Amino acid sequence: MRARIAVVEDNPDNRFLVQAILDDQYDIDEYETGIEALDGLPGSIPDLVLLDISLPEMDGTEVLARMKEMPGLDSIPVIALTAHAMAGDREKFLSLGFDDYLTKPIVDDSLLLQAIATQLEKSG
Amino acid sequence: MTAGPSSPSDSSQLELSQDANSEASWILEGERTPQRATVYWVLAAVLLLGGVLLRGFPEAQAEQLHFLTEVVATVLATLVGALALVRYYSKKETTFLFIGTGFLGTAFLDSYHLLVTSPLFETLMDPSRSQENLRAWSWIASRVFLSLFLFVSWLTWRQESARGTGRKVDERSVYITAALLTSVIFLFFTRAPLRPAIYPDAFVPRPAELIPALFFTVTLVGYFLKGAWRTDVFEHWLIVGLLVSALLHGAFAAFSSEPYDQAFSAAHLLKAVSYVAILVGLLASVFTTFRREESAFDLSRRANEALAREVAVRRQAERVLQESEERLQDFLDSANDLILMTQPDGTIEYVNRAWRRRLGYGETELSGRSFSEMVDPGSQPALEKAYEAAITGEAIAGLELYLRSSQEEEVIVRGSMNCRFEDGEPVSVRTMLRDVTEQKRAQQELAHSEANLSALVESTGDAIWSVGEDGSLITFNSAFALEVETLTGLEPRVGVNPLQLVPPDHQDLFRELYGRGLSGERFSQVWEVDLAGHGRAFELYFNPISGGARTVGVVVFSKDVTRRQRAEEALLAAKDEAELANQAKSQFLANMSHELRTPLNSVIGFANILLRKKDAMDPKEVSFLERILSNGKHLLELINEVLDLAKIEAGRMDVELEQVDLQEFLTETLGQMEGQIRGRPVQLVAQVPADLGTLETDPGKIKQVLINLVGNALKFTAEGSVTVEVEPDVEDSSLPQRIHIRDTGPGIPRDRLEAIFEAFQQADGSTARKYGGTGLGLSISRSLCHLLGYHVTVESELDVGSTFTINLNNRPGRGIVTALKETSGEADPKET
């Protein structure tokens, strides 16, 4: 059975790219905004969430914080996939509770795949 | 008038007093004038009446009585005469000479009369001669004789008192006269035939009796008028005697018509009485004289004793005076004050020890000199003025003089001056002065210090004032006055309530502030006040004034900080603004990064996905995709580095220092770069001395620099080696000093050595095409090194290789923070 990955990303091109990279290995739920994600996730609990930070209305850090308060969602591994790649950003996001941090653009697919595999393995 | 023996020193008591003996009987009293005069009149009346009454009586046989009275009279007359002469010789009064002589003569004549009237004489006498006549005339002769002498005695007194004193009467001639007179009378009676003396039928049977009566009366009147009877006891009795004598003749004897009748006997008795009276007078006089002498002697003895006592008392007084003077001297000498006594003209009479000591003069050096010699010329007018005032009786206080000691030292004194007067004349000027030199100097020093302090306080434009315990203004400087006037239009004065000097709505604040200050709290407070539409700010420093255990006031120092306040506000605003701008800049950079990366995601991502199937694609199409991918990656790299550079230059790069073990650090860093030499004939070598100590640095930044420089070296080195060598300090081998990165690449032309550190400059234009890279690596490395206080240099030889050196400028005690200060804000990568 394939693992289910939720991708929260407002940019359609980026959603499309992530789907292209992952869809031969994983089932994918796409959400355009954080609010949508928080609405939808309880109905379709994924094994992992790829969460963008810059989202309209509610940014990724807030979405993560909400998820941590929601039973059933609080233990799902969440990887920050963001274009915020300034020095210090990595440390900042990991400290906020993200399980991993990857930057956009995704220069090497394998790094993304490997990170996902690692998290899935970790969460069992 | 009693002599008080208890007060011998009173010389007036030394006068002789007749009444010294208060026991004296009225006989001796000299001051019974009214009674005496009364006695005379009564006596005269009694005798006259007696004479008239006796005239009617018949004759009586009184021969025996006559004999007896004549014997008594003779004895009495002798006694009186003798006593009177004694009295005369003791007092030398002519009266007594005549009285004495008169009575002695009378005694002789009386004895003759006695003789002729005695029965014995009848037998001896010539019977032819009339016995009766002789008896009568001998009586008369004796009486005339006596009355004459008494009259002469009065006459002599009168003449003497008229001529003045002086005894002209020769006593011998008086005696001779008396002797001759008695002898003549005696002879006359023996030889001359005598006429009868009694005419029994006449109104006055014996007219001859009127002769002595006349003399006695005249004498009596004379002595009475003399007046001495009032005080002199003898003269009193003399007058009694004269009165009796005058009347015994005038009232009795003259009317005796025959011998031995009543009148005859009474006259004889009265004769004895008159003698007795005079004798009593003499005795009383003598007694009084004796008493007087005794009294005088007693008084003089007492006076002597008094004198002796007085002498003793005076000696004692002198001794006491001397002791008292010594004590006074000692007292004056023990005084610390300078005491001086001069004559009214300033000539020194006395100075005490303190004076001599303070002014350096010897004990006797000063007498006769003038006070003004010791007074400083500047004080002479004050001295003269003081003397003038003192001599007119004014007491001068607060006299201040500058004196000169014998060593010309200045001595400042203050005190009083006054003058002693005798009978309204100034006698001596007393001056009591206290040495106030030290006090004065202290005052002057205090005044200087106060002047200094005042100048200090006045020298500032900041307001300074102080408030006392009672909350009133004590002192303030002119800056304070100016500020108060500007703020309230009031003029501050010492003693006012300082709360009135601030605008009314600030009084509560100041009440609280002064209260805090007066409770001993030291604090500062910024006070803002609106002045004519302009906000003013003052920083007030409250400093309690400590008066021992408690706070006695508070000094307030006010600094106008309006300008500073505004500058600070402006600075804060500018800082806020700058921070906002910086934040905006950072945000902009972050956003820029985000926004530039997002589209690249699609470019790079989809190129990658397409290239997964490159085996099934036309090689030309594959090559197109690869171009898209590599340019996308290059663009990403550019974006990253431009943002880094921008961040450094914006000063947004924080430095986080750690102790870094370079051996470990290099191994790890170079390990990450091994991928770049895989399959290439290039060696990557690290050379680190074994005993090297740690380096305090920001590992993230130094790593970025190393990756950059080593990456560059690897990129340009086709074959050979890239060596990273850490060089320790020459003196301390544990101290890392330089890091060299050596390559065996193509080298850099000399003229490009500096340019390569500039952004987008590579050794030559073709390099980028050949080796790739953004052209920003060296720029960023140099900037990062600047940030850390390091310095990057390069040496190169074409076709041999290049060596980049990071000079760590590592000095003991020299932290990077210091270096940061030197370099921050001018992290200009172009600077070498």
Please enumerate in sequence order all residues whose Cβ is within 8 A of that of B44, keeping only pairs 6 or more positions apart, or say none.
Answer: B243, B247
R_g of chain B, CA atoms, integer Å: 79
What is the strand order of the sheet B410-422 is part of?
A: B348-351, B338-342, B425-435, B410-422, B396-404
Sign of the CA dihedral running B165, B171, B175, B176: negative
Is B338 within 8 Å of B354 (Cβ atoms)?
yes
Q: How confident is the model at residue B721 (pLDDT cuts 50, 70, 90)?
A: very high
Please enumerate in sequence order all residues whose Cβ is within 8 A of that of B364, keeping only pairs 6 or more positions apart, or say none.
Answer: none
Ranking A81-95, B32-46, B236-250 by mean pLDDT, the lowest is B32-46
Asked if B594's CB is within 8 angstroms of A83's CB, the reply is yes
Q: Is B400 helix (H, G, I), strand (E, B) or coil?
A: strand
The pLDDT value recorded for residue B556 is: 92
Mutation for A interface: B598, B612, B626, B631, most A CBs within 10 A: B598
Mean pLDDT value across chain B: 82
To the nearest whole Å, the CA of B652 is away from the closest chain A CA by 11
CA dist., res. B422 & res. B262, Å (int): 83
The pLDDT value recorded for residue B123 is: 64
Residues of A with CB under 8 A from a CB of B: 11, 13-14, 17, 20-21, 54, 82-87, 103-109
Q: What are the two backbone dihedrals, phi and then psi, of residue B714, each rounded to the nearest 5 degrees? A: -65, -40
Q: Which has more pLDDT, B21 or B202?
A: B202
Q: How confident is the model at residue A9 (pLDDT cuts 50, 70, 90)?
A: very high
Q: Look up the pTM and report it.
A: 0.39
User: Mind listing the pLDDT tens digit for each residue in B124-141?
Assistant: 666 565 667 777 888 888
CA dist., res. B184 & res. B195, Å (int): 18
Amino acid making up residue B125: M
Which ranges of B192-261 does DSSP label H, i.e. alpha helix?
A: 210-226, 233-247
Ranking B484-488, B553-557, B812-816 by mean pLDDT, the lowest is B812-816
The pLDDT value recorded for residue B763 is: 53
What is the strand order of the sheet B736-743 is part of?
A: B682-687, B720-728, B736-743, B801-807, B791-797
Residue B268 has pLDDT above 90, yes or no: no
Length of chain B: 832
Amino acid making up residue A59: D
Cis geometry, peptide bond prior to residue B344 (ω within 30 degrees of 0): no
Residue A45 is given by DSSP the state: -
CA dist., res. A117 & res. B117, Å (int): 215
Asked if B608's CB is within 8 angstroms of A108's CB, the reply is yes
CA dist., res. B17 & res. B302, Å (int): 14
Which of B595, B633, B644 is the closest to A107 by Cβ?
B633
Contacts of A105 in chain B (CB under 8 A): 597-598, 600-605, 632, 636
| Helix or strand (DSSP H, E) at B687 | strand B682-687
Highest mean pLDDT among B160-169, B356-365, B394-403: B394-403
To the nearest whole Å, the CA of B566 is away from the closest chain A CA by 38
Asked if B647's CB is within 8 angstroms of A87's CB, the reply is yes
Torsion of CA B376, B380, B382, B386, to 10 degrees: 120
Nearest to A26 by CA among A4, A58, A44: A4
CA dist., res. B18 & res. B291, Å (int): 9
CA dist., res. B676 & res. B773, Å (int): 14
Amino acid making up residue B484: V
Sign of the CA dihedral running B75, B77, B80, B81: negative
Mutation for B interface: A107, A108, A112, most B CBs within 10 A: A107
Q: Which has more pLDDT, A88 or B221?
A: B221
Cβ neighbours of B256 (radius 10 Å): 25
Q: Which has more pLDDT, B666 or B118?
A: B666
| Helix or strand (DSSP H, E) at B536 | strand B534-547
**Which residue has 């005993």 as its token pair?**
B691
The pLDDT value recorded for residue B580 is: 83
CA dist., res. B66 & res. B72, Å (int): 10
Sign of the CA dihedral running B484, B488, B492, B498: negative
The pLDDT value recorded for residue A62 is: 94
Mutation for B interface: A14, A17, A92, most B CBs within 10 A: A17
CA dist., res. B433 & res. B371, Å (int): 13
Asked if B601's CB is within 8 angstroms of A17's CB, the reply is yes
Average pLDDT estimate for B368-390:
89
Please enumerate in sequence order all residues whose Cβ is within 8 A of that of A58, keeping only pairs 6 or more positions apart, or say none.
Answer: A33, A34, A35, A38
User: Mind listing the pLDDT tens digit for each residue in B780-791?
Assistant: 888 888 888 899
Which value does ipTM take for this structure? Answer: 0.85
CA dist., res. B244 & res. B73, Å (int): 14
Asked if B593's CB is within 8 angstroms of A83's CB, the reply is yes
Contacts of A21 in chain B (CB under 8 A): 605, 609
R_g of chain A, CA atoms, integer Å: 13
The pLDDT value recorded for residue A98 is: 94
Residue B692 has pLDDT above 80, yes or no: yes
Cβ neighbours of B307 (radius 10 Å): 15
Asked if A21's CB is within 8 angstroms of B605's CB, the reply is yes
Asked if B604's CB is within 8 angstroms of A105's CB, the reply is yes
- The distance from CA B245 to its chain's CA centroid, rounded to whole angstroms, is 93
Residues of B with CB under 8 A from a CB of A: 589-590, 593-595, 597-606, 608-609, 632-633, 636, 640, 643-644, 647, 653, 700
User: Mind listing the pLDDT tens digit for each residue in B69-123?
Assistant: 888 888 888 988 888 888 888 777 788 888 888 888 888 888 888 887 776 666 6
CB pairs under 8 A between A and B: 69
Is B381 within 8 Å of B400 (Cβ atoms)?
no
Sign of the CA dihedral running B452, B456, B457, B459: positive
To the nearest whole Å, the CA of B601 is away from the closest chain A CA by 4
The two structure tokens encoding residue B388: 């003038």
Q: Which has more pLDDT, B58 or B775?
A: B775
To the nearest whole Å, the CA of B605 is away from the closest chain A CA by 6
The pLDDT value recorded for residue A6 is: 95
Cβ neighbours of B614 (radius 10 Å): 14
The two structure tokens encoding residue B179: 């002797």
Is B716 within 8 Å of B692 (Cβ atoms)?
no
The two structure tokens encoding residue B772: 């790739």
Q: Which has more pLDDT, B285 or A5?
A: A5
Residue A64 has pLDDT above 90, yes or no: yes
Query: How is B758-817 classified by DSSP, letter by letter?
Result: STT--SSTHHHHHH---S-HHHHHHHHHHHHT-EEEEEEETTTEEEEEEE----TT--HH
Residue B805 has pLDDT above 90, yes or no: yes
CA dist., res. B691 & res. B737, Å (int): 13
The pLDDT value recorded for residue B26 is: 45
Strands (E), A1-124: 4-8, 27-31, 48-51, 78-82, 100-103
Contacts of A82 in chain B (CB under 8 A): 594
Average pLDDT estimate for B52-61:
61
User: Mind listing the pLDDT tens digit for each residue in B584-617?
Assistant: 777 787 788 888 888 888 999 999 999 988 888 8
Residue B251 is given by DSSP the state: I
Contacts of B594 in chain A (CB under 8 A): 54, 82-84
Residue B335 has pLDDT above 90, yes or no: no
Asked if A84's CB is within 8 angstroms of B605's CB, the reply is no
The pLDDT value recorded for residue B130 is: 62
Beta-bridged to residue A100, according to DSSP, are A79
The pLDDT value recorded for residue B7 is: 43
Contacts of B604 in chain A (CB under 8 A): 105-107
Residue B476 is given by DSSP the state: E
> What is the maximal distance between C-alpha atoms in chain B?
251
Residue A4 has pLDDT above 90, yes or no: yes
To the nearest whole Å, the CA of A106 is away from the closest chain B CA by 6
Residue B395 has pLDDT above 70, yes or no: yes
Nearest to B169 by CA among B181, B144, B152: B152
| Share of residues in chain B with pLDDT > 90 (%) | 10
The pLDDT value recorded for residue B764 is: 55
Average pLDDT estimate for B38-53:
80
Q: How confident is the model at residue A3 (pLDDT cuts 50, 70, 90)?
A: very high
Nearest to A50 by CA among A86, A85, A14: A14
Which of B636, B647, B653 is the closest to A107 by Cβ?
B636
Average pLDDT estimate for B12-17:
40
Asked if A108's CB is within 8 angstroms of B605's CB, the reply is no
CA dist., res. B65 & res. B67, Å (int): 5
User: Mind listing the pLDDT tens digit for each residue in B212-254?
Assistant: 889 999 999 998 888 888 888 888 888 888 888 888 888 888 8
The pLDDT value recorded for residue A30 is: 94
Average pLDDT estimate for B396-421:
90
The pLDDT value recorded for residue B722 is: 93
